[in-house]
Amino acid sequence: MPSEKHVRYWIDSAEENYKSMQRIFAAGEYVWALFIGHLVIEKLVKACCARRWGADVPKIHDLTRLAKKAGIALSTEREDDLDRLTLLQTNVRYHDQQGVPTRRAQRTWAQGHIETITELRKWLLDILSK
């Protein structure tokens, strides 16, 4: 498959997940909405990797490492955002980790992360449109 087909695959998959994240958040399943939100950003960064490397997209979930492999210039703020989302998904995946509220996390806590995900999504889609 040519590189642009791989890029499109990752973008389309991220957009489907973004809609799912919104539905899951609206249903009050905040922790799972954030887990899916991490996937949105991961897939958009992998689209950037596919643009740079073709089909050979790294099979890792660390957003900062992925962004660096994709050649994305990161400000300190962007890197901090990516690190926080990576830590969040790790904590959700491994329930013995600290830092994630219970399954029914507080809406305001989750809303802040959703806003970060939405902002990162827009930033990555802008990078991909160039």
Dump pLDDT digits (tens) for 53-95: 888 899 999 999 999 999 999 999 999 999 999 988 766 665 5
The predicted pLDDT at position 120 comes to: 98
Q: How far, in Å, CA of 78 to CA of 98, rounded?
A: 23
Contact between 34 and 92 under an 8 Å Cβ cutoff? The reply is yes
Q: What is the pTM of this model?
A: 0.90
Domain that holds residue 27: 3-128
Number of structural domains in the chain: 1
CATH value at residue 82: 1.20.120.330
pLDDT of residue 65: 96
Share of the chain above pLDDT 70, in %: 86
Among residues 32, 35, 12, 16, the alpha carbon closest in space to that of 24 is found at 32
